[in-house]
Amino acid sequence: MAATAARNNTQKLESLATERVAFPDNRLVLHLCGALDGHLKQMEECLPVSLQPLGNGITITAPTALAKKVRQLLENGYAALEQGHMVDQQWVEQGMQTLDEEGALPAQDHQACAGTVLRTPRRTLHPRTPGQADYLHKLATTDLTFAIGPAGTGKTFLAVAAAVTQWLEGRVARIILTRPAVEAGERLGFLPGDLQAKVDPYLRPLYDALHAMLGPEKVERMLLRAELEIAPLAYMRGRTLEEAFIILDEAQNTTAEQMKMFLTRFGEGSRMAVSGDITQRDLPKGQPSGLVQAAKILQNVPGVAFVQFTHRDVVRHPLVRKIVQAYEQSGQSKKLF
């Protein structure tokens, strides 16, 4: 028995490979490893790998095939840091998720995310996934962009960031943010206060995104100067919106009539972003979604771009990605194109 155990231990040792990867900048290595080597510990908890930081390098001990992939993951992380991107818990989780799903890491992931940087007074934003990079590129180059996908993929936040950036650059004169005032499966009754107080709860996520990039004082000044408008979708009827970056959020809750009304508000020099999650509709049962209909009708129209996000683009808590993936695998999430 002892001889058998010894042979098994020998085989396990022989199946492991040890690699050392070294990097030129010690400061970036510290960010790559994370606070108290937290990123390395995160990998060790999820993968059969041992990671030992020493000086400007990291020693990897793992099964041969996995050791090469983990090395590539670390090299991708270092390259992302060199380009000014953030490597955090979500980045590490996404890298390991790619290993689990595909058995390989696309070396170009950090390169696909490079080149698009949005600078706002309070934040500098980089795309965190190739899907986000594609989205930002289309927001910058296409007059009408649809973003469809699950929660946590940055559909609204990145659209607001693109709008702020283009306003700061003088490419548009104002920003208009809107969403349908549809209750999320609850009957809220008659809310107290004036009309603005009644609609504010529906628009709060848009205010939150603007405050994160500009600060509350700047947002208030823009509202007073009519450089910013945040209003329910019903307020858009009958208007022509010129020289504006217009964002329709929660578009899955528009009716077909509302969507057509919104899309025909286009004026000279304007740009539109429409975002929504078709799996989280709050319309009355049997009421078709204007977002679903528009995606089918406009799919091949020149000047209209579509981005389909998946669980791989989720950048919230790692558990959110797993939840979205579980729903996708159960067939509850549908792709329109």
Confidence (pTM)? 0.70
| pLDDT category of residue 133 using cuts at 50, 70 and 90 | confident
Q: Are 274 and 305 in contact (CB under 8 A)?
A: no
What are the tens digits of pLDDT across the range 7-16? 444 444 447 8
**Record: fold of 121-329:** Rossmann fold (3.40.50)
pLDDT greater than 80 at residue 166: yes
Q: What is the pLDDT of residues 24-58, one digit of tens each?
A: 998 899 999 998 999 999 888 888 899 999 888 89
Q: How many other β-carbons are positioned within 10 Å of the β-carbon of residue 41?
A: 13
CB pairs under 8 A, 24+ apart, for 331-334?
A: 332/279, 333/150, 333/279, 334/278, 334/279
Which pair of tokens denotes residue 111?
Answer: 């390169």
- Give the pLDDT confidence score for residue 262 in this predicted structure: 94
Asked which of 65-74, 195-204, 208-217, 320-329 is least confident by mean pLDDT, the reply is 195-204
Q: Which amino acid is at 90?
A: Q
Q: What is the pLDDT of residues 268-322, one digit of tens each?
A: 999 999 999 998 888 888 889 999 999 999 999 999 999 999 887 887 766 776 7
Render pLDDT for 239-279 as a digit per residue (tens, 0 to 9).
889 999 999 999 999 999 999 999 999 889 999 999 999 98
With cut-offs at 50, 70 and 90, classify the pLDDT of residue 184.
very low
**Fold observed for domain 12-112:** Ribosomal Protein S8; Chain: A, domain 1 (3.30.1370)
Place of tokens 């999820």: 46
- Looking at residue 46, its pLDDT comes to 82
Mean pLDDT, the chain, whole residue set: 81
Kindly report, as residue ranges, where domains of CATH 3.30.1370.10 are found in the chain: 12-112
What per-residue confidence (pLDDT) applies to 296?
93
Q: Are 239 and 185 in contact (CB under 8 A)?
A: no
* Residue range(s) occupied by CATH 3.40.50.300 in the chain: 121-329
DSSP code at position 42: H
* Arithmetic mean of pLDDT, 149-159: 90
